[in-house]
């Protein structure tokens, strides 16, 4: 296994805090579907089974439905560690959802997913190698994984702090990756072949914190749909670029075989 520059730090938030964070941080909906994921879905056959690990409130599932991005007769399973988010996912999408830890996914059989999605989750898990292995186990050989995570380049700065004092983009981040290679190595070691890599800038969304604060004091009905309404839709992407932070996006294919027996 390749040496990694940054070893995983243990999760620093106790479970109750994690759940309180889920209660307080509603995910907002948009119709944006990452182009690499849209292309992977477009080339998938009818009846494709999609599993979204760390599905959150279901915002990506919702965007895929709204934009007709799923193949005909596709099935979709949302998986998350947070009961609050699972409940929101099911209420929104009406698709099945599973409360499970993405680092083991013991509740799921091997090779069930034609397409596995896991966006902005890897930086949250305690053991990213176990998480990558679990994603590989549930993805069919030849199946695809679309994954995004955070890239923190040298000199990156954000105003938030984790409970242990580290400056982070989100207080529930266990780690933030300092290179794309680091992420690729973990996923390759788990049994994936990298097909495409890209990155996007990350912005501080000016209206989101104000809206969350307002919602905490004075609940706004269907607040998660706020940016779908005019004139707010135009302001959804209004934000300040976050210095030296980016989102890494990877499209990968599950190789035949497994790490113990060697890959083909």
Ligand X SMILES: C[S@@+](CC[C@H](N)C(=O)[O-])C[C@H]1O[C@@H](n2cnc3c(N)ncnc32)[C@H](O)[C@@H]1O
Residues near ligand X (CB under 6 A) are: 22, 27, 54-56, 59-60, 80-82, 85, 101-103, 119-121, 124-125
Least CB distance from residue 263 to ligand X, whole Å?
Answer: 25
Least CB distance from residue 239 to ligand X, whole Å?
Answer: 16
User: Which CB, 177 or 255, lies closer to ligand X?
Assistant: 177
Both tokens of 109, joined, read 């059989």
Least CB distance from residue 170 to ligand X, whole Å?
Answer: 7
Residue written as token pair 């300040």: 240
Catalogue the long-range contacts made by 259-262 (C-beta closer than 8 Å, 24 or more residues apart). Answer: 259/133, 259/189, 259/190, 259/191
The answer, yes or no, to whether the previous bond of 130 is cis (omega within 30 of 0) is no
CA distance linking residue 131 with residue 121, whole number of Å: 10
The residue nearest ligand X at its CB is 56
Least CB distance from residue 82 to ligand X, whole Å?
Answer: 4
CB atoms within 10 A of CB 134: 24
Least CB distance from residue 14 to ligand X, whole Å?
Answer: 14
Instruction: Give how far Cα 54 sits from Cα of 93, 102, 239, 257, Å.
Output: 15, 7, 25, 25
User: Which CB, 88 or 255, lies closer to ligand X?
Assistant: 88
Least CB distance from residue 262 to ligand X, whole Å?
Answer: 28
User: Which CB, 104 or 263, lies closer to ligand X?
Assistant: 104
User: Which CB, 162 or 255, lies closer to ligand X?
Assistant: 162
Least CB distance from residue 264 to ligand X, whole Å?
Answer: 29
Least CB distance from residue 86 to ligand X, whole Å?
Answer: 9
User: Which CB, 173 or 255, lies closer to ligand X?
Assistant: 173
User: Which CB, 102 or 143, lies closer to ligand X?
Assistant: 102
CA distance linking residue 67 with residue 146, whole number of Å: 18
User: Which CB, 55 or 255, lies closer to ligand X?
Assistant: 55
Return the half-sphere exposure (C-beta side, CA atoms, 13 A cut-off) of residue 253.
10
Q: What are phi and psi of 183, to 5 degrees?
A: -70, -45
User: Which CB, 127 or 189, lies closer to ligand X?
Assistant: 127
């Amino acid at each position: 296994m390749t040496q990694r520059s940054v070893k995983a730090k243990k999760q620093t938030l106790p479970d109750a805090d994690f759940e309180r964070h889920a209660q307080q941080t509603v995910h907002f909906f948009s119709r944006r579907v990452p182009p690499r994921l849209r292309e992977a879905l477009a080339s998938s056959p009818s009846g494709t089974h999609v599993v979204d690990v760390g599905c959150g409130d279901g915002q990506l599932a919702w965007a895929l439905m709204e934009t007709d991005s799923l193949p005909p007769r596709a099935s979709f399973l949302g998986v998350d560690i947070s009961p609050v988010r699972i409940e929101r996912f099911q209420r929104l999408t009406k698709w099945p959802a599973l409360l499970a830890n993405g680092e083991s996914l013991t509740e799921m059989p091997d090779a069930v997913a034609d397409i596995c999605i896991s966006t902005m989750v890897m930086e949250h898990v305690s053991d990213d190698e176990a998480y990558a292995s679990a994603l590989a186990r549930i993805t069919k050989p030849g199946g695809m994984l679309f994954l995004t995570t955070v890239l923190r380049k040298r000199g990156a700065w954000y105003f938030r702090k984790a409970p242990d004092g580290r400056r982070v983009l989100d207080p529930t981040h266990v780690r933030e990756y300092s290179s794309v290679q680091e992420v690729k190595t973990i996923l390759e070691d788990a049994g994936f072949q990298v097909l495409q890599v890209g990155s996007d800038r990350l912005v501080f969304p000016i209206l989101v914190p104000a809206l969350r604060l307002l919602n905490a004091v004075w609940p706004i009905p269907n607040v998660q749909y706020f940016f779908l309404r005019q004139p707010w839709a135009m302001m959804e992407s209004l934000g300040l670029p976050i210095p030296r932070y980016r989102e890494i996006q990877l499209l990968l294919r599950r190789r035949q075989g497994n790490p113990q027996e060697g890959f083909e």
